[in-house]
Amino acid sequence: MRAIVCRAYGPPEQLVVADVADPVPGPSQLLVRVHAAAVNFPDLLLIAGKYQIRVPVPFTPGSELAGEVLVAGEDASFSPGQRVFGATAIGAFAERALLDAASAAVIPEDADFALAAAFGVTYRTAYHALRSVAQVSAGDWVVVLGAAGGVGLAAVDLAVAMKARVLAAASSRQKLRLCAQRGAAATVNYDVEDLKARIRELTGDSARVVIDPVGGSYSEPALRGLARGGTFVTLGYAAGTIPAIPLNLVLLKGISVRGMEIRTFMNDHPDEATRDVAELAQMFASGLVRPHIGARFRLAETPAALRQVAERKVLGKVVIDMP
């Protein structure tokens, strides 16, 4: 089969398309013919050797996919021919990939492979952050940084579905227009506007939650814009810089700063994670939430797809379509 292979840690451009052996499923695994795979920011960190875990080279990157079951392991409750989607640590950028049966789900009839591939990682990350970490309620003001990116737009979609009021923060009118179309009640361009002042103004100084997958220079003004007793959730650092937050701000405003990483959330909070995944699956199955796909690439164009994510040019999700 053809697959994207990382033979040495580095930028997306050093990835190659190569012929590799088909993976062999274990007892609780599925061998899936991949129809679509989605790109995520951690894919960039993995191929650069900068993620929390270091995958030995060579390996095939890619963490979420959708496709058709070819072979089901003996303990896997799926059948050949079923349309499924799910997440995996690596291996999605290939014509065939393995999924643990426990992490796979059947694709709803009215959703195509691309939508299913784009739904998993970012929406789980955003929903855990909103539902379990920040405990968002209807009517709450939720500020989302990087609101047009993968995790950001997922957070916008889900907060709107939870009947919260969303203030979407992003870096261009095009991105903010998309957020408004997805239901954001207010928007702010943090590259040209005073983020702290606009958060206070637009929310009536009542922003209860900040969801931050970006980091960099945006985190501190967003934290300063929170109302007293608010919750700041850090999810990642797509801006490339890990911010240093003055702790006196946390003390003086009674703010809670929380971190959430999807890789460990299931182990750390199994009951909440199980509940969240079930609720999220129902939202997807009912059509309440559907991801926005901003760009699509062929398998051989995977380096360009990753570069678009690296340069924060993404509107929603980037998908790799398989032949």
Contact partners, residue 270, CB within 8 Å, separation at least 6 = none
Question: Whose CA is closest to 259, among 237, 282, 226?
Answer: 237
Angle at 170 between CA 111 and CA 148, to 5 degrees: 10
Strand runs labelled E in 171-315: 186-189, 207-212, 231-234, 256-259, 293-298
**pLDDT class of 52 with cuts at 50, 70, 90:** confident
Does this chain's domain 2-121+268-321 share its CATH topology with 134-259? no
Q: Is the pLDDT of residue 239 over 90?
A: no
CB 189 within 8 A of CB 170: yes
How much of the chain exceeds pLDDT 90, in percent? 90
Q: Is the pLDDT of residue 145 over 90?
A: yes
Residue 152 has which token pair?
A: 């950001």
How much of the chain exceeds pLDDT 70, in percent? 100
**pLDDT class of 66 with cuts at 50, 70, 90:** very high
Determine the distance from the C-alpha atom of residue 76 to the mean position of all C-alpha atoms in its chain, rounded to a whole number.
26
CB 32 within 8 A of CB 62: no
Q: What is the pLDDT of residue 8?
A: 97
pLDDT tens-digit readout, 81-122? 999 999 999 999 999 999 999 889 999 988 999 999 999 889
> Hey, is 11 helix, strand or coil?
coil
Give me the mean pLDDT over the 172-185 stretch.
Answer: 97
Give me the mean pLDDT over the 34-43 stretch.
Answer: 95
Give me the mean pLDDT over the 128-132 stretch.
Answer: 98
Determine the distance from the C-alpha atom of residue 222 to the mean position of all C-alpha atoms in its chain, rounded to a whole number.
20
> Hey, is 97 helix, strand or coil?
strand
Q: What is the pLDDT of residue 188?
A: 98
Break the chain into its structural domains and give their ranges.
2-121+268-321, 134-259
pTM of the model: 0.91
Q: Is the pLDDT of residue 19 over 90?
A: yes
Q: What is the pLDDT of residue 181?
A: 98
Q: Give the sign of the dihedral formed by CA 235, CA 237, CA 243, CA 249.
A: negative
CB 121 within 8 A of CB 319: no
Give me the mean pLDDT over the 160-167 stretch.
Answer: 98
Q: What is the pLDDT of residue 238?
A: 87
The CATH code of the domain at 134-259 is: 3.40.50.720
Q: What integer best gives the mean pLDDT of the chain? A: 95
Q: How would CATH label the architecture of 2-121+268-321?
A: Alpha-Beta Complex (3.90)
Residue 205 has which token pair?
A: 């100084």
Q: Is the pLDDT of residue 262 over 90?
A: no
Residue 256 has which token pair?
A: 């809670």
Please tell me the distance from the alpha carbon of residue 275 to that of residue 292, in angstroms, as a whole number.
24
